[in-house]
Structure 1
Amino acid sequence: MSAMTFERPVKPAARSIAVMASVLVAIGAAPVLSALGLMDAATFAGDGDQTLRAAPYAFSIWGLIYLGVFVYGVWQLVRQTPESAPLRAVAWPSVIALLGCGAWLFAAALDQKALSVVIIVTSASAIVAGLLRAGPHRGEVGPGTRFFIFWPLSLLAGWLTIASFLNVITVLTAWGLIGPATAQPAALAGIVGVLIVGSAVVWRLRHLAYGLPIVWGLIAVWAAEHADKPQVGLAALVAAGLMLLVSLVAGRP
């Protein structure tokens, strides 16, 4: 009687290439726009400053996110990287989210406000959904697979979550739907919304990395607003503390 043999699942080559290509699109979009002399993301985001703003340093987190997703892209492209349920769950959602990151920069550069909201909300929803599908399978893979998937993509998902709220507020302000009389209530509603959505996702995902970019962004809001809008700044700081607490509890081993 011959011994039974089990073949290791093979990763689809097209999927691996698509993931890596989307990583390069996300990282390469900003230099392309700069070379073309088009409007940068900071100028676009400035349209919402009268309602809610984050200190400019907040956006430096993209350096860490780009590094993380590049490592993820290379890792999943390597032939020796095993196929796994978590990778299957996040691969195509990560393609959508990363292409969306690049597309959003072009939408912002062309001042396509409605399109920018559609792109960023779609990107955030796709990567959050992929991570939530991958979560139940986390225990089926080794620490290396967990690190290369959940850390970089959770950081991306967390930042896209808070950025979606800021983007919506920016667009509504630019369109005049949020004016001086409603700016503070709208800002407070945005902060509360970020806290509710972020807490709900990190509690289900059970990974600290998702919450950290949200905490970072909320602290940047406090830094920008506490002098001119003390109530908004205080709300952002309290929300950052609560988000950190929830993330630490949810992310416990």
Structure 2
Amino acid sequence: MTRPPGRSLLVLLAVVVAIAIPALQATQDFGMTAQEFSSQGDQTLRAAGYAFSIWGLIYFGMVAYAIYQLTLAPETPTLRAVAWPSVVAISGCGAWILASAFNQQWLSVAIIVVSAATLIWGLLRARAAAPRPAFRDKLLIVWPLSLLAGWLTIASAINILTVLTAQGIISPALSWAVIGITVVLTVGGFVGWRLGSPVYLAPIAWGLIAVYVAEQADKPVAAWLAAGAALVLVAGALAMLRKRR
């Protein structure tokens, strides 16, 4: 079966948009930065700034995926399952930057949650359609998109807490931080188990460790809970790897 050319071009366009919009914001200095946006309500739960360096790896994976599906990939069940969901999720990365730049708080929540849910749905479809995809599909499709999905999972939780705090709907209390971390562990663990994907779990654990670093002075209970949750996910990822071997 041949690949729909329009779909392949839309995947490439989504990647260009996801990378170009933050680059334009950095060079043209329009709107609020992501840090300024988050600082309005990050008193409940925050991650250390270094955690966002993962975007370098995510962008690299996006580019590799876009080129592969456009020029080299056959039309496999894996690609059919994730291609359209990836357009939504990757476009959402650029759209979120615009929403945060113009301080559209609830829009930012909708964008990131829809992006995460759509991409997870696509990956679950891909696993059902091809439980053992070819290595090149894993390397250039499943792994890059799983990395993005994992990061969007924990980023969604932090984004929601940030907006709820900024809107005055919740107070920056320890209980809300604990709820947020618990939800991340529960959702991330369940989805990671369904996907059988250590790659999906890795950015969630990375983000939880960054929460530990950021919160250990002000919220030590939440910090240690985040560290414990990260260890649980790492243990789960290692168990998956051992099972495959």
Partner residue in 1 for 2:103: 111
1:248 is displaced (CA, Å) by 2.4
Answer whether contact 1:47 1:174 (CA < 8 A) is retained.
Answer: yes
Q: Which structure has the larger Rg over C-alpha atoms?
A: 1
CA deviations on 1:126-164 (whole Å, 9 max, x unpaired) are: 100000000123345421112111110000000000000
Q: Counterpart amino acid of 1:71?
A: A
Q: Percent sequence identity over matched residues?
A: 50
CA distance in 2, matches of 1:249, 1:47: 39
Quickly say closer, same or farther: Cα 1:83–1:53, change in 2 above 3 A. Answer: same
Partner residue in 1 for 2:143: 151
The number of aligned residues is: 242
Gaps of 5+ in 2: none
Answer whether contact 2:2 2:74 (CA < 8 A) is retained.
Answer: yes
CA distance in 1, matches of 2:147, 2:49: 18
Q: Does 1:201 align with 2:191?
A: yes
Q: Counterpart amino acid of 2:208?
A: L
Q: Counterpart amino acid of 1:144?
A: R
Answer whether contact 1:40 1:109 (CA < 8 A) is retained.
Answer: yes
TM-score (normalizing by structure 1): 0.93
Partner residue in 1 for 2:59: 66
TM-score (normalizing by structure 2): 0.96
Answer whether contact 1:138 1:146 (CA < 8 A) is retained.
Answer: no
CA distance in 2, matches of 1:171, 1:52: 11
Q: Tell me the secondary structure at the aligned position of residue 11 of structure 1.
A: coil
User: What is the root-mean-square deviation of aligned Cα atoms in Å?
Assistant: 1.2
Gaps of 5+ in 1: 1-8
CA distance in 2, matches of 1:250, 1:161: 19
Q: Counterpart amino acid of 1:43?
A: E
Structure 1 ranges of 4+ moved more than 2 A:
136-141, 247-252
CA deviations on 1:91-144 (whole Å, 9 max, x unpaired) are: 000000011110000000000000000000000001000000001233454211
Q: Counterpart amino acid of 1:53?
A: R
